[in-house]
Amino acid sequence: MNSKLTTKITVVVLNWNSHKMTAECIRSLQATDGPDFEILVVDNGSTDGSVDILPQEFPQITVLPQRRNLGFAAGCNVGMQHALANDAEYVLLLNNDTIVAQEFIREMLAAIESDPGIGAVCPKIYFADHPDLLWYAGADFSLWTGRFKIRGWRQIDRGQFDHNQEITQATGCAMLVRCSALHDVGLLDEQFWAYAEDLDWSLRSLQRGYRLMLAPKARIWHHDGATSVKLMGSRSQAIRQFFSARNMAFVARKHVHWWQIPTHAVGFMISQIAFYTALRLWRRDFRALSAIYKGVSHGLLTPLDSSGR
């Protein structure tokens, strides 16, 4: 990191009982070039000593310990509120199970500063165990069909996405957000807890007139699902299935217009219910199968929190 502070950036990394993984992410951040930045670790009620271990290894970082696991959305909001209170210009949400390239911060900043109308930018994301295989090169979501498409998913990167391009769905895995947009759009909706909160924020951002962009020269590598699978074990698929189904129902209730309901409902039935029902039956994962229907029921019947904009 450069000694001269040119742009005030706060990197928010969420940690929950995974200090070794978080430490690897921090070391990669510290090896980047470009502008200086603050690293802020929000510890989500860890019981593995993370709150003591991380600041001992990295005395220059700030750790904000929480008494319990707040979930992804609320945990990130703690970090973003800290950044806003300290007059940051940009907040970078970054999963702790990622490794960033040396030019990552510099390229992300260059992309977002190319146009004041850009609310957030995301990098190219690769699978950590297949370094040239794309996990994300932008994504799009349609309120008409209720379906999303991740650009480049499991494609070898041959430069096919090597140009700045608009997206309609940013990912909370790695997202640099303009703080003025946060003031306008609001923080993540904490009712989501985890999964699809980034989609909800993307839709709210677009509705407020901001653009979302891919910064293709910024690169990171992601240990896909490492945190949830490692820490939740055999329950991880059921938990992810419940929150995914529930939160996509929340997205529909918050954003779908009445004239989009017929086609959105068909898309939701196919992509969120029929597909995953078949998958869980094929894998004989009846716990995750039950979680689909519990999630949909909760998503349709739970009152929406009006504070989630």
DSSP assignment letter at 235: G
pLDDT at 3: 35
Name which of 151, 153, 148, 147 is nearest 138 in CA terms: 151
Q: Give the chain's mean pLDDT.
A: 94
Band of pLDDT at residue 34, cut at 50, 70 and 90? confident
pLDDT at 132: 96
pLDDT at 201: 98
pLDDT at 309: 79
pLDDT at 184: 97
Residue 2 counted as domain residue: no
Total domain count, the chain = 2
pLDDT at 6: 59
pLDDT at 228: 53
Range of the domain at 195: 9-223
Residue 215 counted as domain residue: yes
Q: Are residues 240 and 208 in the same domain?
A: no
Q: Are residues 35 and 142 in the same domain?
A: yes
**Domain stop point among 190, 223, 256:** 223
Q: Are residues 19 and 91 in the same domain?
A: yes
HEC sequence for 100-140 = ECCCHHHHHHHHHCCCCCEEEEEEEEEECCEEEEEEECCEE
Band of pLDDT at residue 70, cut at 50, 70 and 90? very high
Q: Are residues 218 and 245 in the same domain?
A: no
Band of pLDDT at residue 230, cut at 50, 70 and 90? low
Residue 266 counted as domain residue: yes
The pLDDT of residue 170 is above 50: yes
Q: Are residues 154 and 256 in the same domain?
A: no
Band of pLDDT at residue 234, cut at 50, 70 and 90? low
The DSSP code sequence of 264-287 is HHHHHIIIIIIHHHHHHHHTT-HH
Name which of 195, 221, 171, 177 is nearest 25 in CA terms: 221
Band of pLDDT at residue 2, cut at 50, 70 and 90? very low
Q: What's this model's pTM, rounded to 2 decimal places? A: 0.94
**Domain stop point among 223, 240, 274:** 223
Residue 4 counted as domain residue: no
The pLDDT of residue 284 is above 50: yes
Q: Give the Cα separation of 28 and 43 in Å (integer).
A: 19
pLDDT at 163: 85
The stretch 193-213 carries a mean pLDDT of 98
The stretch 52-74 carries a mean pLDDT of 97
The stretch 162-176 carries a mean pLDDT of 95
Q: Give the Cα separation of 49 and 182 in Å (integer).
A: 32
pLDDT at 166: 96
The pLDDT of residue 198 is above 90: yes
Q: Collect all residues with Cβ–Cβ distance below 8 Å to 132 and sequence separation of at least 6.
A: 126, 156, 157
CATH of the domain at 195: 3.90.550.60
pLDDT at 232: 53
Residue 20 counted as domain residue: yes
The stretch 264-293 carries a mean pLDDT of 96
Instruction: Say what percent of the chain tops pLDDT 70.
Output: 95
Cβ neighbour number for residue 269 with a 10 Å cutoff:
13
226 burial (CB, 10 Å; 0-12 / 13-18 / 19+) is middle
**Domain stop point among 175, 205, 223:** 223
Residue 148 counted as domain residue: yes
Q: Are residues 299 and 211 in the same domain?
A: no
pLDDT at 4: 40
The answer to whether 174 and 94 are in contact (CB under 8 A) is yes
Total H helices, total E strands in the chain: 11, 12
**Which helix (DSSP H) or strand (DSSP E) does residue 215 occupy?**
strand 211-222
Give alpha helix (H) positions in 33-171: 50-57, 71-85, 104-112
The stretch 222-250 carries a mean pLDDT of 80
